Amino acid sequence: QLQLVESGGGLVQPGGSLTLSCSISGRTISRYVMGWFRQAPGKEREFVTAISRDRLNTGYADSVKGRFTISKDDVAENTMYLQMNNLKPEDTAFYYCAADSAVMYPNNYYSTMSSAYHYWGEGTQVTVSS
């Protein structure tokens, strides 16, 4: 059973930056399609960004394009990152990392659908407020 653990959330002022990390246990991250989703109070969980197994394909929600960057650790191979810049109050949410082996798909595949991901972390809170 793959375990995902998020870290790095917190309180930040509008315009500030945060980096979230998602660590997996026992496996190398290159075996998985990885994604970040978020859920604000009273709202549905929504796609934020995803990265393919081979790291060559990434996708972003329109609301975060140009501000957020997803990446996989090239050295440790067990951590994924979400660099968030120019944060806005509307980015306030609980952020979840997700993974799936996606063995039926090519290495450059990723999904924006939460239902495509089998493994989930417990999340980390990001609050953007002055």
Summarised one tens digit per residue, pLDDT across range 53-89 is 999 999 999 999 999 999 998 777 899 999 999 999 9
Place of tokens 């980096």: 19
Q: Residue 25 — very low, low, confident or very high, per pLDDT cuts 50/70/90?
A: confident
| Per-residue confidence (pLDDT) for residue 100, from 0 to 100 | 95
| Per-residue confidence (pLDDT) for residue 74, from 0 to 100 | 73
Q: What is the pLDDT of residues 88-123, one digit of tens each?
A: 999 999 999 999 998 889 999 999 999 999 999 999
Q: What is the dihedral of CA 35, 82, 75, 77, to 10 degrees?
A: -20
Cβ within 8 Å of residue 18, ≥6 positions away:
8, 9, 10, 12, 84, 87, 126
